[in-house]
Amino acid sequence: MDLGGSENTSESRFTAYVERLAAALGHADRAAPFRAYCTGLMLPGERKSVEPMAARVEPGRVGAAHQSLHHFVAKAAWDDSAVLEAVRDLVLPALLECGPLRFWIIDDTGLPKKGRHSVGVARQYCGQLGKQDNCQVAVSLSLATDHASLPVALRLYLPETWADDAVRRAKTGIPDDVAFQTKPAIALEQIRAAMAVGLPPGVVLMDAGYGTDTDLRAGISALGLAYVAGIQSSTSLWPPGVTPLPPKPWSGRGRPPKGLRRAPGHEPVSAKILAKGLVPTAWRTVTWREGTNAPLTSRFAAIRVHPAHRDNERAELRPAEWLLIEWPADEDEPSKYWLSTLAETASLDDLVGTAKGRWRIERDYLELKQELGLGHYEGRGWRGFHHHATLCIAAYGFLVRERAAIPPSAPPRPGRRKAPALPEGYRPRGSPVAP
């Protein structure tokens, strides 16, 4: 799908795409550094921080290009949300031509970082490393069809140690209205914003890091969206046929009791205990999609339950949901659990296929990091972090749009541009001195 230009080439389409996005920057003088920064992200190269990109984009004037790009990403006061809106307006129609929007995927990604001065950096779980380490964590929302996905929001998670530190806030330019929020609270805010601008709805998908948050699940339901949410094996549930006792009768004094009561024979169980108690005929093998080398297949069961969390503060049961369980045939116990508000008539195949739709976010993060340098920004400030992330998403949006325009049988379009030769003797700042 051509975006314009005299020739139907990847380069002309990229130029036209970037020119249309530049209108969201607010000032005409930002168009040139915006174009250069996006080009630097797309060009091959090991690092996508400012100075190496400046050397690739303008090898004859590295110093001036570096200064221009640094000011644009770290200092200039353009609106991230306006650029992301422009990306969405250009890319989503191309996605929807290939099929309906099905999923809203919430997740976070860790960006390893040394030192303690970059905004939001703390010792916390980093998925990229698979352990606790020094990193920044960003929460995102992606919209996905069966064939592709696009991030439409990304925000840095600010640990409480940062949110409460006035000195570090001032040094890194954290806006006054940014307070501590949990990751699920940030995700719900992103979903509400997406609903407010009328994005096509989808089933919200999340892993157990988000799905165990009752307030997030309730907030999504209040917006009229269905979800498939990963949960922990310890999540307490009311299985079929088991209910709590009603609130105690009112004595006539004080406030009338409101909370449901638990007693022997009226107690919830964990998801794990419930799963292990299912009869063998409850389990069925389901194939949900083709993998790289073979179809992806496992064993699943689904049962209607009522979540039990904090229901001693409620006068009635929470609505019934699906509990979906995966128990691979070669494992000693179940491996994954989900709660879902998909319709009661949903089939097991539908539940599994939807739950497994989350894999697309892993592809988004992989390409944003490995191909476009999402974690390569070397500045320390709040504005620069979010500007860099927005520009990475803008560049990624072009790749998503290009792929959406390719018929399945067509030869692939090149998604990368050739980098100009670096100046002789060029060495990025901080590299070892040549012997």
3-state per-residue secondary structure call for the chain = CCCCCCCCCHHHHHHHHHHHHHHHHCCHHHHHHHHHHHHHHHCCCCCCCHHHHHHHHCCCCHHHHHHHHHHHHHCCCCCHHHHHHHHHHHHHHHHHHCCCCCEEEEEEEEEECCCCCCCCCEEEEECCCCEEEEEEEEEEEEEECCCCEEEEEEEECCCHHHHCCHHHHHHHCCCCCCCCCCHHHHHHHHHHHHHHCCCCCCEEEECHHHHCCHHHHHHHHHCCCCEEEEECCCCEEECCCCCCECCCCCCCCCCCCCCCECECCECCEEHHHHHHCCCHHHCEEEEEEECCCCEEEEEEEEEEEEECCCHHHCCCCCCCEEEEEECCCCCCCCCEEEEECCCCCCCHHHHHHHHHHHHHHHHHHHHHHHCCCHHHCCCCCHHHHHHHHHHHHHHHHHHHHHHHCCCCCCCCCCCCCCCCCCCCCCCCCCCCCCC
pLDDT digits (tens, 9 = 90+) for 346-386: 999 999 999 999 988 988 999 999 999 999 999 999 999 99
* pTM of the predicted model over 0.75: yes
pLDDT digits (tens, 9 = 90+) for 160-180: 999 999 999 999 999 999 999
118 φψ region: left (φ > 0), alpha (ψ -120 to 50), beta (else): beta
Statement: residue 4 has pLDDT above 60:
no
* Cα 370 to Cα 388: distance, rounded to the nearest angstrom: 15
Pairing type for strands 336-340 and 321-326 reads antiparallel
- pLDDT bin (cut points 50, 70, 90) of residue 8 is low
- Contact by Cβ (8 Å): 342, 203: yes
- pLDDT bin (cut points 50, 70, 90) of residue 269 is very high
Which position has the higher pLDDT, 256 or 288?
288
Statement: residue 2 has pLDDT above 80:
no
- pLDDT bin (cut points 50, 70, 90) of residue 291 is confident
Q: What is the mean pLDDT of the chain?
A: 90
- % pLDDT > 90, the chain: 75
pLDDT digits (tens, 9 = 90+) for 197-247: 999 999 999 999 999 999 999 999 999 999 999 999 999 999 999 988 888
301-335 CB burial, b ≥16 within 10 A, e <16: bbeebbbbbebeeeeeebeebbbbbbbeeeeeebe
pLDDT digits (tens, 9 = 90+) for 380-431: 999 999 999 999 999 999 999 999 887 554 444 444 444 444 445 544 444 4
Q: What is the pLDDT of residue 410?
A: 45
Handedness of CA 99, 218, 347, 270 (dihedral sign): positive
Which position has the higher pLDDT, 419 or 316?
316
Report residue 88 CA to chain centroid gap.
15
pLDDT digits (tens, 9 = 90+) for 101-153: 999 999 999 999 988 899 999 999 888 888 889 999 999 999 999 889 999 99
Over range 254-260, report the average pLDDT.
Answer: 82
Residue 259 CB-density burial (10 A; 0-12 exposed, 13-18 middle, 19+ buried): middle
pLDDT digits (tens, 9 = 90+) for 278-288: 999 999 999 99
